[in-house]
Amino acid sequence: MKKLINDPAEVVDAALAGMAAAHPDLRVDAKQRVVARADAPVPGKVGLVSGGGSGHEPLHAGFVGPGMLDAACAGEIFTSPVPDQILAATAAVDGGAGVLHIVKNYTGDVMNFEMAAELAAAETGIEVLAVVVNDDVAVQDSLYTAGRRGVGATVVLEKIAGAAAEQRRTLAEVAGIATRVSADSRSMGVALTSCTVPAVGRPTFELGPDDMELGIGIHGEPGRQRLPLAPAHEVAGLLVEPLLADLPFRRGDRVLCLLNGMGGTPLLELYLMFDEVSRILRGHGIEIARSLVGSYITSLDMAGCSVTLTRLDDELTALWDYPVRTPALRWGM
């Protein structure tokens, strides 16, 4: 294992210390492992809280800032944050308009966010609503989930819901918009290599030099099938066609297309893949109205990519375009 680390047991804390040093416009609670906007809580604004296991950077802490999340909690590598962390984040961003929890659909995340919401209501009286992201079409139920996994659409949902909250919409309105985004998003990924968890020191799974895993999960969970490595245009078809059939997307739809790297794939290859994906969508009469290419929800050093399609209307497009300023995503500010 070759990694730029000191002690594998301290990777998360050291990374959060680095984030605090690099971004003085954020407030980092090292004890609770919570990253929040420096100006939180914002009076009269719905607070947005998300979080999950570390190892998926820039998700979630990289998306904290105006126009997106108010706070994010970091668990251990690929492990949900605990209820006390989530409760601390919730209290830190409550500006009197309630708090929305954005939760990826993994059993530990769902359970711990539910417990934190119950504690918030009982101990502080904060009104909390939750939206669960479950966009991965690759598998139905797995070792980590009941239902579909939450993957790339999490980024899209955090951005669009964050814009709605910044516009001072009500908690019910922000939750409704987030629910729409989740319902109208589909994702699927492919892995060319495994990832290596620092504390383990070896690949999470074995993948031959001429193999790829289609439908891989962001924690190294198995996908739909293991296939021989194929050219990019074939891989793009294997990822996109199931998405189009599942919603289903229709000719004339306008979509946001996120071509996401899993952590170990060069941007050169991601743009190449985006070109192949765009060809397929044009062939189906689907317009890419907005796009995002880069590594936004990763799996440590895994090589591979995922495609997320979100069906857009005028309202969601305007919310996507709304100004945002976070470490990993910023425009219009």
Sheet holding 128-133, edge to edge: 26-29, 34-37, 71-77, 47-54, 99-104, 128-133
Looking at residue 27, its pLDDT comes to 97
Active site residues: 56, 219
Per-residue model confidence as pLDDT tens digits over 211-223:
999 999 898 887 8
With 70 as the cut, is the pLDDT of residue 323 above it?
yes
Q: What is the pTM assigned to this prediction?
A: 0.96
Give yes or no for a cis peptide into 41 (omega within 30° of 0): yes
Q: How far apart are CA 236 and CA 228, in angstroms?
A: 14
Looking at residue 71, its pLDDT comes to 98
Strands 211-214 and 225-228: antiparallel
Q: Which residues pair with 84 in a beta bridge?
A: none
φ, ψ of residue 109 in degrees (nearest 5): -60, -50
CA dihedral 292, 297, 299, 304 (to 10 degrees): -20
Domains assigned to the chain: 18-183 (3.40.50.10440), 185-321 (3.30.1180.20)
Looking at residue 143, its pLDDT comes to 62
Per-residue model confidence as pLDDT tens digits over 133-161:
999 999 877 666 678 999 999 999 999 99
φ, ψ of residue 245 in degrees (nearest 5): -75, -25
